[in-house]
Amino acid sequence: MSQKLRFLTVSLILFLSSGCAVNPITGEEEFMLMGEQQDVAIGKKYAPELEKQMGGKIDNASIQNYVNSVGQKVANVSHRRSWNYQFVALEDDMINAFALPGGYIFITKGLLSKLTTESQLASILAHETAHVVARDTAVLMSREIGISILLSAAISDSTSSTARTAADLTRQIIGFRFSRRDEKDADLAGLDYMVRAGYDPNGMVETMQILESQQKERPIEFFSTHPNPENRIAYLKSRIGSRYRKREGLRIGKEDFRSAVLSHIKKN
Whether the pLDDT of residue 1 is over 50: the answer is no
- Considering all CA atoms of the chain, what is the largest pairwise distance in Å, rounded to the nearest integer? 61
What's the pLDDT score for residue 137? 82
Residue 148 exposed, middle or buried by CB count within 10 Å (0-12, 13-18, 19+): middle
Confidence of residue 162 (pLDDT cuts 50, 70, 90): low
3-state SS class at 148: helix
Spatial contact of 202 and 117, defined as CB atoms under 8 Å apart:
no
Beta-sheet strands, E only, within the chain: 19-22, 29-32, 86-90, 97-100, 104-108
Residue 69 CA to residue 250 CA, distance in Å, equals 17
CA distance 51 to 85: 15
Count of Cβ atoms closer than 10 Å to residue 219 Cβ: 11
At 214-241, the pLDDT tens digits run 999 999 999 999 999 889 999 999 999 9
Query: What pLDDT score does 9 carry?
Result: 43
Q: What CA–CA distance (Å, rounded) separates 73 from 154?
A: 29
- pTM: predicted TM-score of the whole model, two decimal places: 0.86
